[in-house]
Structure 1
Amino acid sequence: MAMRVKELADLVGISVRTLHYYDEIGLLSPEETSDFGYRLYSNDNLEMLQQILFFRELDMPLKEIKHIISSSSFDKQEALLQHQKMLLEKRNQLDKLINTVDKSLKHMKGEIQMTNKEKFEGFDFSQNPYEQEARKLWGDKAVDESNAKVAGMSKEAQKAVSEIYTKLASIRNSSPESEEAQAAIKEWYDCLNQNFGTYSLDAFKGLGQMYVDDQRFTKNIDQYGDGLAKFMCDAMGHFADANKN
């Protein structure tokens, strides 16, 4: 049975804004149109959305997801097998961490003795996907300098960052080109340049695009409010373009 966007959003538990964005970037577009002009999602659309959400659960960027599922060689069954494999690996690591928590609680109660090595079983810091991607984009020096600044950020600066995100989240349903939105996004631009290195207008716009292209960023930013990453992307793009003139 074909579904309208609100029905699908309610069924899956994601926002209408997210589905609209997937449509805008050509990741998932409704295949049917009702007699009244409503765009409807087919059963094939629902199956593809399931695939997209499996990829998202594994922190895969939207650009990469789009590239994979639009390939002529994409096999849904093979993809599900890969999802299963990777999710089992993820569960295995979580099981180890849960076991470490359980043993730590018993250790604190004096029921068992843990070795120092046992206290850190399940943690895996062999890779940092955010840092790896940043190194590819901007090089080691820029990332190292950024890491040093983040590590040395004062509590006041951390509070300022949180306040800016909270302010932007409170107006995310307004126009990203509005005077209020542009004033708030300028605060974010200034904050980045004061605390995280030098950002040109083009770099600022590119960073905003990463907020929606890379689901890892989207997931973290949208913790402040659903749809905030998309709102910030649009506001940052407009800010960069407007201030070049």
Structure 2
Amino acid sequence: MRTVPDATDATDATDPQDADGLTVGQVAARLGVTVRALHHWDEIGLARPSLRTAAGYRLYKAGDVERLHRIVVYRETGLGLERIRAVLDDTAEDATAALRAQRARVDEQIARLERLGTGLDRMIDAHERGLLLTAAQQAEIFGPDWNPRWPAEARARYGDTTQWRQFAERSAARGPEEWQAIADAVAALDRALAAAMDAGVDPGSPEAHRLVDRHREVFSAYFPLTRAMQVCLGRLYESDPGYRAHYDGVRPGLATWFRRCVDAAARAHGIDPDTATWE
């Protein structure tokens, strides 16, 4: 059992035999490692000092310091201590092969970090722009009536909301093909709503409820939509000139008919449309 505390090794205490080697503190400062690390490597037999003073202080000779330097270098490459021990002590261990294998692992980590960086760049861009599509791609996907300024306007209006963050996170993972599928689903829903209104489907009927549920499912491609939020959105479709022009352009009166369908579905689920709020 040690009779001298490890903390004493952290100082460059004066000792008559100090000239025979370097103290723990001196070696730690020279190699840029902690005294605690040197103690640990000594305790596990990875790098033991050749000398001890009469007072029990560790002293490292030139060969010890060289071994420690190699350990530090190998540690910086990411090798574990046991692998470093094998490289230093096992004559059958090929240091070059070990380093090549470690290099391959580092390359994999670099590639992973580059993918992560690309993903973060897209996430930042999506939070700032909304759609990561060119104006030409937007027109091709969303049709000639689409205004490429709308995403920027939405960012200015809703950029501080939870829904914008959810939308941006989903947008960052989407390319033109995914947006085309969403646009197709929205267009198909518009046609289904118009056909149902033409067929005289009454708000509150099972078929109208199914269409309201389909609307929530399609719209949730942008961000999760609760029934209360859908009520607010339905009223926006009816009151906002831009939204109303879209739906009434699909079929005159569609905006009001669909709002009534949403309100009836909300009541069926215990929600009062008159008090519903955006959650």
User: TM-score, structure 2 length as denominator?
Assistant: 0.37
User: TM-score, structure 1 length as denominator?
Assistant: 0.42
- Greater relative contact order (CA < 8 Å, ≥ 6 in sequence): 1
